[in-house]
Amino acid sequence: MLTVFKQIFTWWNQQTFGTRLQIFFSGKLVGQDKNGNKYYESKSGRRWVIYNGEVEASKIPNEWYSWMHHMNNKIENDHNLKKYEWQKEHLPNQTGSEDSYHPKKYNNVIKKKYKSWKS
């Protein structure tokens, strides 16, 4: 019962009730990526994604990103494209987590390449 209220009144928890209706009436499931995100397309050509878990745009892999933005390339037709051994797996945005990027610090102080004119 709580999930029904979440779908009616919130947009940040997966799909809303309106999105569910749109999928029912005009949405066609195109595919699903390895993260569990589902990709839909309407008859008019509109494309959208239903995220698996938390809604975060950086969870869309490169292959599906090009499809979502109507880019013309060979990846659009083949979503199971073989990757090279040197390519890394897709990671969502790491900002705010322990895995986020921090610039190198020298003695816990960032050295400036300039001298401030006010001291």
Q: What is the mean pLDDT of the chain?
A: 76
79 or 116: whose pLDDT is higher? Answer: 116
Question: What digits encode the pLDDT tens for the residues 16-68?
Answer: 777 777 778 888 898 888 888 999 988 888 888 888 877 788 888 877 888 88
List, in sequence order, every beta strand (DSSP E) within the chain: 28-32, 38-41, 47-50
How far apart are alpha carbons 33 and 4 in whole angstroms? Answer: 25
Contact 69, 62 (CB under 8 A): no
